[in-house]
Amino acid sequence: MSGELATSEGFVSPEVGSELPGLRLRWLRLETEARPDAREVRARLRQLSDRIHGAGVIAMRTRPIHRAYRAFFRQTGLDPDLQRPPAEQAATVRLMRGELSAPDALHGALLIALVETGVPVWALDADQVHDGGLGIRQTGEGERLGDTLLRPGRLVVSDEVSIHALLFGGLDRSHEADGSTPRVALFAVGVDGVPDMHLEEALWLATQALAGG
């Protein structure tokens, strides 16, 4: 990875950290309103598509980064063969559809970072994120993601005010960034066995893709 990126370490609540050591979140705000030419992002995705083949997708789960996410899914009660970790899901969709695709340049940049590193990156509307920053915690009684009531104990990405997403799940649609969002907050989630440098690289790649680099 080249260049320096000013990322922030998100909080992990003590009870979550003690139960799931190695779980962490890094995030950053992008103040720029610039967006790359969508054609450049599509061209990059086509290049990445050519690197994904059936045998490689099967072999993914044996590689350290992908194996770490699969192990975390099992640890938290998810079957990674049914609910695939993000990188495996992206590769499987590519095989089914014949190409990697995204609805806009922002999501294309996130997909580029995911495929290149195996680390998932999500984008929120930065204006919806409290100044205290993002982190991971469990839900309490009566909390909601948007209009959906969540059972207590769900792992979520939140700030001091709002729940923004289920961990490795859906985002609050009213907080999710899209191709027209002027300021975005990117966050990446790491688990035990995924080095910090891979989280930094994923955020850097997404940022560079958004800058047209």
| Arithmetic mean of pLDDT, 103-130 | 95
Q: Is residue 91 part of a domain?
A: yes
- Residue whose token pair is 């999710």: 176
| Arithmetic mean of pLDDT, 103-119 | 95
Q: Is residue 92 part of a domain?
A: yes
- The CATH number of whichever domain residue 109 belongs to comes to 3.50.40
For residue range 119-129, list pLDDT tens digits in order.
Answer: 999 999 999 99
| Cβ–Cβ < 8 Å for 179, 103 | yes
188: pLDDT confidence band, cut at 50, 70 and 90?
very high
| Cβ–Cβ < 8 Å for 30, 186 | yes
The DSSP element (H or E) to which 201 belongs, if any, is helix 196-210
CB atoms within 10 A of CB 124: 26
The encoded tokens of residue 185 equal 């907050």
Cα 25 to Cα 194: distance, rounded to the nearest angstrom: 12
Cα 91 to Cα 51: distance, rounded to the nearest angstrom: 10
Q: Is residue 3 part of a domain?
A: no
Domain, as residue range, for 12: 8-210
- Residue 5, pLDDT score: 79
Q: How many domains does the chain have?
A: 1
Q: Is residue 57 part of a domain?
A: yes
Question: CA angle, 132 as apex, 127 and 138 as ends, to 5°?
Answer: 100
Q: Count CA atoms within 13 Å of residue 11 on its CB side.
A: 12
Our measurement of the distance from residue 7's CA atom to the centroid of its chain's CA atoms, rounded to an integer in Å, reads: 14
For residue range 42-87, list pLDDT tens digits in order.
Answer: 899 999 999 888 887 788 888 999 999 999 999 999 999 999 999 9
Cα 40 to Cα 148: distance, rounded to the nearest angstrom: 37
CB atoms within 10 A of CB 193: 15
Q: Is residue 198 part of a domain?
A: yes
For residue range 9-27, list pLDDT tens digits in order.
Answer: 999 999 999 999 999 999 9
For residue range 86-98, list pLDDT tens digits in order.
Answer: 999 999 999 999 9
The whole-model pTM stands at 0.93
Nearest to 194 by CA among 26, 2, 57: 26
Decide if pLDDT at 38 tops 70.
Answer: yes
The amino acid at residue 59 is A
- Residue 3, pLDDT score: 53
